[in-house]
Structure 1
Amino acid sequence: MTITDTGSPPTTSPLHASTSSGTFTGPIATHQPTIEILGAVRDRYDEILTPDAIAFLTALHDRFSARRYDRLADRMRTRFEVGIGRDPRFRDETAHIREDAEWQVAGAAPGLEDRRVEITGPTDPKMTINALNSGAKVWLADQEDATSPTWKNVIEGQLSLRDAIRGELSFTSPEGKVYEVTATETPTIVMRPRGWHLAEQHIRFIDRSGRRLSASGSLVDFGLYFFHNAERLIANGRGPYFYLAKLESSEEARLWDDIFAFSEEYIGIPYGTIRATVLIETLPAAFEMDEILFALRDHCAGLNAGRWDYIFSIIKNYRGRGARFVLPDRSEVTMTVPFMRAYTDLLVKTCHRRGAFAIGGMSAFIPNRRDPEVTARAFEKVAADKKREAGDGFDGTWVAHPDLIPVARAEFDAVLGDRPNQVDRQRDDVEVKASQLLDVHIGLPVTAAGVKANVSVAIRYLEAWLRGLGAVAIDNLMEDAATAEISRSQVWQWIHQDRSTEGGTPITREYIERLIAEVLSEVERRDPSTGSGTDRFDDAADIFREVSLREEFPAFLTLTAYSRYLVDSE
């Protein structure tokens, strides 16, 4: 059965919630809150979808789903205000939080003291085993941008994590290759649930007023992982740790903090056991770093510079604000351009002032074991990126490939030595103004090659995403939902701001249609008669048209695509 809700707020909130306690004041309850499983229950799914776990999901949705909708409505208002010319600012009403030098966050918990290299990746069994054998300090177990949210991936990712935490995970590929965890010391797992905007349409929540709503992807991912693994993780000497994606305000952080406190009490573990690292990957969040840390202070380990989604957020918020907000080719929007430099400097300063870890982002370059020249270039680019981060004061960084771990570690070792981190390094030399965070002038043109690259990458990524792959190597770069968002949103903005390529070709819908045709003629199609399955390029091209060529700008490319293609499609 398909549910049509796609994660946007309903016309009216299902219930009215208080701002902090999670208790409701609304219509008189006439229904018992209920969770219904709509997705197929396959082999071992009952180990995750247990009655007790479903009861926990029901309690989470009963207490917090209304506040989720309120926060999504806040996002819409913020985007509208930026669109009509009201730039983000540092909030006057929270100045006392920023100016108070005394408060600190909880900081490191067992297994999080040294985070100099973190590997990211999806949670299928093979990638889970590879991550655990990688030698990284931390594994970001990604149920968000690196995972295509098919029902299979959502639940079987939970099974992979459950088995890994219990030392029971193994995997045999269709070719007969056996994968097992062999490392004597495995990375600390930090799980990333889906963002607040994403629904889980294979699970339905019926609230106290009888309204039927798709479940929250955030609450499903967090709830199932926490319920099944928190106590086992503590027994293993670690803990339930999370990366929080796509936050846009301290109110959203407070919502998570209340969820953490409720969840700790629900299963009977001490308050403050959970640790969260927040990705600062939206423009509004960059103006509330102190406030986000403060809202989560009893559960907070640090912040991460989520560079790709941050660039996407800049484009999304300023897409209609004129030519001066138009960015050049994606490849030219590096970490050293003014607005990115200001954002990362502010992040390090803010974190270290509060005793929080500052974790760097992921360079997209990846090695190719069959091409030494590509590998050498990737090593060079990644080394330069990590040298800059370590020198700027970051305590650790991300990589997307095991071969990059020694490269990144060498740069952080050179700065940290035997120290686990450099949280004690204060960046008193940094003073970032609002205008610097909004200084997007780069002064480079849009090229024909850059336009085609965006069309090609977005279509090829979407094709893989429709087949259940969330992180894909394309042209020796690691692409995920965030980089695909940049590609399609730049195309939309170039069209609507009447941009032309460096060679003088107007970037119009007709021009993009020609490029779509070119890309479809160049990709390698699958031949179903060979048993390799059917490709999804035509569907991917249709999605790309919808999110890049329509007059309206969809907030996220995955929302419509998820509802249309991934729900009950396996």
Structure 2
Amino acid sequence: MEQSLATESKQQSLQITGPDIAGQEIVFTEGAVAFLHTLCDLYADEVEQLLEQRRERQSRIDAGELPDFLPQTRAIRDGQWTIRGIPADLQDRRVEITGPVDRKMIINALNANVKVFMADFEDSLAPSWEKVVQGQLNLRDAVRGTISYTAPDTGKEYRLKEDPAVLIARVRGLHLKDKHVLFNGKPIPGALLDFALYFYHNHHQLLAKGSGPYFYIPKLEGHLEARWWAKVFAFTEERFCLAPGTIKCTCLIETLPAVFEMDEILFELRSNIVALNCGRWDYIFSYIKTLKNHPDRVLPDRQQVTMDKPFLSAYSRLLVKTCHKRGALAMGGMAAFIPAKDEEANRQVLARVCRDKELEARNGHDGTWVAHPGLADTAMSVFNGFIGEDHVNQLHITRDVDAPILASELLKPCDGERTESGMRLNIRIALQYLEAWISGNGCVPIYGLMEDAATAEISRASIWQWIHHSKSLANGKAVTKGLFREMLVEELANVKEEVGSERFSHGRFTEAAVLLEEITTADELVDFLTLPGYELLTRSEH
């Protein structure tokens, strides 16, 4: 049912078109709607301009240009300035856990042995209207300490412990619209919806208990997008009579263009920003996507693209050096492993997590991400060893003695093989993830890893790139659209065998296969699989 939430004076310019969700009236109060309306009126149109600038830059890169540091902002990179500061409860972020905004996940994550929980409206959430609304209700309850959950099958009760982790909300990227809320007849940026509702309902309670409205900002591609967020934050602080810098954000550096503008992003957001984060999986996807027309930059099997590869090592070290120079924290990336039930297999999982986290800590990162509470102790142990008892972070590690990191290092081609087993694994992962996503689940355990949209993006974009540049596999087979289609049929059958006939017949695997074929064999690389995926997700809502 369509309902208008606009006053007459606003000429019904803000409308909710999603189905009625229990508790929706608690989220969309008159005050929340008025705030969202104002944000859309002031800032929604500019998002379109920013997305057009992305397209223009991509066209130049497609034509042969390579990303580089901006000559026009050299004064900012060379200048002596720092960010405003870091609140007490964000000084120590040595382990953060991430996950979607469902009720049980929120409680388990806030209770885990971590410093921060990043509650995710983005890559680990399939944004059905129900999930978006319920996510806001769940976080509202979590902030007030009243959240609880009873498992329907076992009756087990989940409640918050005394001293839960610090809460940070990750909003959607600027490219994602929410078709359930229209402003002047057009879908609004999901980022504005997520930000407005979380801030409006929770800032007062968060500040009252010594925390604050904290956000993770994903998918930035440059400092002009950071400037847009700075304007949104400054307006919000003024409207609610808050001191400048009350809102705090951490920006993910998970696109190739953004790595060349880290100083500038910190500068634009210097009143509000506290950290940058190495969003490594999206960054690898962005490397493929940005350099898609460059045949000398084709990546090998996803499993071979590890953080010790030169282009990723340079990215990690430059982020640490840039952040610490400006007084900001440098967060490490995701350990996507999940604990194994078999004792020996689990020992190997923990050993791999340990090696990964040691590399980050040695580079000078102040903290890291895990996707599962069962990995928190391992990651915490590694960072405790590096940070020690005298510090809460590694801001004292400046990396001043490092040689300057050049554009050529950040763009360096990656060695490794393209294998048939790697290609088939990519297909199975992308199939299973897409099926889960269009069914409403954005965070999926597959083959011992917690997959989200970023890892599925790598899987399908890699194959697209191999087809586009007529690459061959290690066994000599040419990667063509025909070969991909053959493998897709075979791997769909393998997935059916793995999940069982009943699960397969009740799922949306055939739809997922059709979508995967469309985006992988398209002549132009589809920007984000979540865009066509969103159409399938929302089609079944009404």
> What interval of TM-score do these two structures reach, taking the shorter chain for normalisation?
over 0.9
Question: 2: CA distance between counterparts of 1:55 and 1:135?
Answer: 39
> Which residue identity does 1:422 align to in structure 2?
Q
1:421 aligns with 2:393: yes
Given that residues 189 and 241 in structure 1 are in contact (C-alpha distance below 8 angstroms), is that contact kept between their aligned partners in structure 2?
yes
1:506 aligns with 2:478: yes
Q: Name the structure 2 match of 1:557.
A: 529
1:247 aligns with 2:224: no
Q: 1:116 and 1:48, CA in 2 relative to 1: closer, same or farther beyond 3 A?
A: same
Given that residues 19 and 541 in structure 2 are in contact (C-alpha distance below 8 angstroms), is that contact kept between their aligned partners in structure 1?
no
Q: How does 1:133-212 map to 2 (within 5 A)?
A: 133-206=111-184, 212=185
TM-score by length of 2: 0.95
Secondary structure of the 1:427 match is coil
> Which residue identity does 1:148 align to in structure 2?
A
Q: Name the structure 2 match of 1:390.
A: 361
Given that residues 91 and 393 in structure 2 are in contact (C-alpha distance below 8 angstroms), is that contact kept between their aligned partners in structure 1?
yes
Which protein has the bigger helix share?
2
Secondary structure of the 1:523 match is helix
Q: How does 1:13-92 map to 2 (within 5 A)?
A: 32=11, 34-92=13-71
Q: Name the structure 2 match of 1:445.
A: 417
Given that residues 48 and 159 in structure 1 are in contact (C-alpha distance below 8 angstroms), is that contact kept between their aligned partners in structure 2?
yes
Q: 1:500 and 1:110, CA in 2 relative to 1: closer, same or farther beyond 3 A?
A: same
Secondary structure of the 2:90 match is coil
Given that residues 135 and 186 in structure 1 are in contact (C-alpha distance below 8 angstroms), is that contact kept between their aligned partners in structure 2?
no
Structure 1 residue 367: Cα displacement = 1.0
Structure 1 residue 180: Cα displacement = 2.2
1:379 aligns with 2:350: yes
Question: 2: CA distance between counterparts of 1:32 and 1:460?
Answer: 44
Secondary structure of the 2:413 match is coil
Query: 1:448-470, CA deviations, whole angstroms, 9 ceiling, x for partnerless residues?
Result: 01100111100000111112111
Which of these residues, 86, 89, 98, is aligned with residue 111 of structure 1?
A: 89
Q: How does 1:95-494 map to 2 (within 5 A)?
A: 95-101=74-80, 103-206=81-184, 212-322=185-295, 324-368=296-340, 370-418=341-389, 419-430=391-402, 431-442=404-415, 444-494=416-466
Query: 1:339-375, CA deviations, whole angstroms, 9 ceiling, x for partnerless residues?
Result: 101111100000000000000001222212x222321
Structure 1 residue 334: Cα displacement = 0.4
Question: 1: CA distance between counterparts of 2:431 and 2:482?
Answer: 17
Given that residues 335 and 370 in structure 2 are in contact (C-alpha distance below 8 angstroms), is that contact kept between their aligned partners in structure 1?
yes
Question: 1: CA distance between counterparts of 2:34 and 2:317?
Answer: 43
Structure 1 residue 33: Cα displacement = 7.1
Question: 2: CA distance between counterparts of 1:354 and 1:33?
Answer: 45
Question: 2: CA distance between counterparts of 1:509 and 1:179?
Answer: 50
Structure 1 residue 428: Cα displacement = 1.1
Question: 1: CA distance between counterparts of 2:501 and 2:178?
Answer: 30
Which of these residues, 538, 559, 563, is aligned with residue 510 of structure 2?
A: 538
Q: 1:537 and 1:529, CA in 2 relative to 1: closer, same or farther beyond 3 A?
A: closer
What 5-or-longer segments of structure 2 have no aligned partner? 3-8
Question: 1: CA distance between counterparts of 2:12 and 2:291?
Answer: 40
Given that residues 527 and 534 in structure 1 are in contact (C-alpha distance below 8 angstroms), is that contact kept between their aligned partners in structure 2?
no
Secondary structure of the 1:72 match is helix
Q: 1:82 and 1:563, CA in 2 relative to 1: closer, same or farther beyond 3 A?
A: same
Given that residues 434 and 533 in structure 2 are in contact (C-alpha distance below 8 angstroms), is that contact kept between their aligned partners in structure 1?
no
Given that residues 147 and 160 in structure 2 are in contact (C-alpha distance below 8 angstroms), is that contact kept between their aligned partners in structure 1?
no
Structure 1 residue 533: Cα displacement = 8.3
Structure 1 residue 32: Cα displacement = 4.5
Q: 1:529 and 1:450, CA in 2 relative to 1: closer, same or farther beyond 3 A?
A: closer
> Which residue identity does 1:65 align to in structure 2?
A
Structure 1 residue 47: Cα displacement = 0.5
TM-score by length of 1: 0.91
Given that residues 128 and 537 in structure 2 are in contact (C-alpha distance below 8 angstroms), is that contact kept between their aligned partners in structure 1?
no
Number of matched residues?
A: 533
Query: 1:60-118, CA deviations, whole angstroms, 9 ceiling, x for partnerless residues?
Result: 110001111111011001111111111111111100000012x1112321310100000
Question: 1: CA distance between counterparts of 2:137 and 2:505?
Answer: 26
Question: 2: CA distance between counterparts of 1:165 and 1:557?
Answer: 32
Structure 1 residue 181: Cα displacement = 2.5
Given that residues 277 and 300 in structure 1 are in contact (C-alpha distance below 8 angstroms), is that contact kept between their aligned partners in structure 2?
yes
Secondary structure of the 1:504 match is coil
Secondary structure of the 1:492 match is helix
Secondary structure of the 1:94 match is helix
Q: 1:467 and 1:428, CA in 2 relative to 1: closer, same or farther beyond 3 A?
A: same
Query: 1:518-568, CA deviations, whole angstroms, 9 ceiling, x for partnerless residues?
Result: 1211224778989x9820101111111111111121111110110233255
Q: Name the structure 1 match of 2:6.
A: none
RMSD of aligned residue pairs (Cα, Å): 1.8
Structure 1 residue 178: Cα displacement = 3.0
Percent identity, aligned pairs only, is 44
Q: 1:495 and 1:529, CA in 2 relative to 1: closer, same or farther beyond 3 A?
A: closer
Structure 1 residue 402: Cα displacement = 0.5
Secondary structure of the 1:463 match is helix
> Which residue identity does 1:61 align to in structure 2?
C
Secondary structure of the 1:111 match is helix
Structure 1 residue 161: Cα displacement = 0.2
